[in-house]
A and B are shown apart, each in its own frame.
Chain A
Amino acid sequence: GQNIDQPTEMTATEGAIVQINCTYQTSGFNGLFWYQQHAGEAPTFLSYNVLDGLEEKGRFSSFLSRSKGYSYLLLKELQMKDSASYLCAVRDSNYQLIWGAGTKLIIKP
């Protein structure tokens, strides 16, 4: 079956750096997405990786290793507004999105 694993919850300190990991096992691979979802709101797109390596976008970076079935989202200079759930999603060979359960990130002052 298809499966995406990410930690349920993480806690970090304002101003620090946090890495949220995602491992996946899917039928084929056509890209990996990270979305941010604040409580009570819809998800918003953060990043997209289809080739191995690091994609940097401001304070957020996303890494992909296809051979390991692994990705991480790196958040730098954490701000209180970064408190949210972070969803990892993989697009399989049928171009269907497989969603992880999300990682709830708690930022403490």
Chain B
Amino acid sequence: GAVVSQHPSWVICKSGTSVKIECRSLDFQATTMFWYRQFPKQSLMLMATSNEGSKATYEQGVEKDKFLINHASLTLSTLTVTSAHPEDSSFYICSARDLDREAGELFFGEGSRLTVL
């Protein structure tokens, strides 16, 4: 199946620092990638839709200046959590859709667990 790779898997940082998370589609081109956040025992919450070559589309309530998204190529999107605070600690997951597949199902990266001290 289609493969999406996410890095890093775990990151611990100090409050006030910035963290960058990378999401790559390894064997297909993804013009659109999706960034989710998931708190413990809760479902996925869509943060933003990353569009290659254009600005990301953010969901209501998500601060675009805090969660910077860059989708510079058809295989790479990055999420930067700027000036991270403890409340930003969460599981961040990226996903992409392989448009060659009939169902258009999402393929997820491994997820990145962020802990802000």
Contact = CB atoms under 8 A, between A and B. Distances in A.
A48 B111 contact: no
Contacts of B107: 45
A5 to B, nearest CB: 12
A43 B104 CA distance: 15
Interface stretch (A15-23, A70-78, A95-103): A95-103
Given A87-B44, A97-B46, A42 B109 contact: yes
A101 B42 contact: yes
Interface of A: 31, 33, 35, 40-45, 48, 50, 87, 91, 97, 99-102
B108 A42 contact: yes
Q: Which of A33, A50, A97 has the most CB of B within 10 A?
A: A97
Interface string B10-44: 00000000000000000000000000000000111
A10 B83 CA distance: 40
A42 B110 contact: yes
B108 A44 contact: yes
Nearest to A4: B43
B103 A42 contact: no
Contacts of A50: 103
Contacts of A44: 108
B69 interface: no
A42 B43 contact: no
Nearest to B110: A42
A89 B107 CA distance: 14
A45 B43 contact: no
B42 A42 contact: no
Contacts of B68: none
26 contacts: A31-B103, A33-B103, A33-B105, A35-B106, A40-B91, A40-B113, A41-B110, A42-B93, A42-B95, A42-B108, A42-B110, A43-B106, A44-B108, A45-B105, A45-B106, A45-B107, A48-B103, A48-B105, A50-B103, A87-B44, A97-B46, A97-B106, A99-B46, A100-B43, A101-B43, A102-B43
